[in-house]
Amino acid sequence: MNLTGVYYALGNICNQEVKEPDLRRGYLAEGLAVMIGSLVNAFPYTTYSQNVGLVQISGVKSKKSNVCNGIVTSSFWINSKNWCF
């Protein structure tokens, strides 16, 4: 499975051991993201191996950057609804 390789590669870059519960949570999050994306008629969100290369090149390994990215992306989505009228 492609996801397993991505999770192990990220764990190796971040110097964190990936265990079975980590893989389960990753698979669950991936499944929920695809289901929610299909409910709102969006593209399925999946883990891409290209992002592993970005993490290694940029050196950004913080969860805070992902949270900030989610907030900014959500604000664009919310504001785009208002800009249509």
Rounded to whole angstroms, how far apart are CA atoms 45 and 30? 7
CB-CB contact of 64 with 25 (8 Å): no
Residues 60, 75, 44: CA angle, nearest 5 degrees: 70
Residue 48 DSSP SS3: coil
Token representation of residue 9: 């590669």
pLDDT one-digit tens code per residue, 33-76 = 888 888 877 776 777 778 888 888 888 888 888 788 888 888 87
pLDDT one-digit tens code per residue, 20-29 = 999 999 999 8
pLDDT-based confidence at residue 84 (cuts at 50, 70, 90):
low
Fill in the DSSP letter of residue 35. H
